[in-house]
Homo-oligomer: A and B are copies of this chain.
């Protein structure tokens, strides 16, 4: 999916919601456990209940890989039912030396070979240029590079400051932005520190940002929009637990839809406030 197509979807759906598909078999409704592939059944119901309210889906690959071959089968089936008008994100946090990153690009982008044709993949930047650039070779595929994450350990290295007073995540933003373009590169910036978006936007005013941490992790949608939104929206805000685990009963899909709708409505207000709608 290209940037223009993504922006069009945001305006059409009045939403910049990304639904995380971190499907944990211990947290899904019990009645699904009798199905042949409970994880896929759960994902299918969630997607059908939310696809008109969100613009992106983001399965975290660990939640599939932890079941080995069987989990990869669930992942492939899930990818196959993701609506083609939604931006798909393989939340894989991969990254290796050049020729090996090219293999990971094949794994997640090249449907003919791997069975998966995601629009984008999340990337850990520690290994530098040749670990990132192999993901930037197709016009409609994206690298979403970790910059400032929302987890408790994020400060251990990401906030280390160099001699010029610049934090590591700022160096990542600057260097990675120079390797790609606003049409093939996004950054992960956690929602838990609203004012950090000011710093992020100094370095990458025009890039899209993938923002986890709204909801269960305590981030505020209003703060993220105040400091992070740009004239093309420039935000994909992810919610996982608040939506997909809204209920553990037979009404789980309906309740997921209700939670997604609340977020979509808040997002519409923010898009109107910014003059994007």
Contacts and interface: CB of A to CB of B under 8 A. Distances in A.
A199 interface: no
Contacts of A65: 103-104, 107, 114
B76 A114 contact: no
A98 B62 contact: no
A66 B114 contact: yes
Interface in A227-274: none
B156 A175 contact: yes
Contacts of A66: 103-104, 106-107, 110, 113-114
Given A68-B72, A94-B93, A156 B168 contact: no
A275 interface: no
A78 interface: no
Identify which of A60, A93, A163 gathers the most chain B CB atoms within 10 Å of its CB: A93
A122 to B, nearest CB: 9
Interface stretch (A38-46, A135-143, A147-155): A147-155
A33 to B, nearest CB: 15
Interface in A26-72: 60, 62-63, 65-69, 71-72
Identify which of A76, A103, A130 gathers the most chain B CB atoms within 10 Å of its CB: A103
B151 A130 contact: yes
Interface in A68-83: 68-69, 71-73, 76
B68 A100 contact: no
Interface in A88-134: 93-98, 100-101, 103-104, 106-107, 110, 113-116, 124-132
8 contacts: A62-B103, A66-B110, A67-B113, A69-B73, A93-B96, A93-B127, A128-B155, A129-B153
Given A62-B103, A161-B162, 7 more contacts: A65-B114, A68-B116, A69-B115, A95-B124, A97-B151, A98-B152, A98-B153
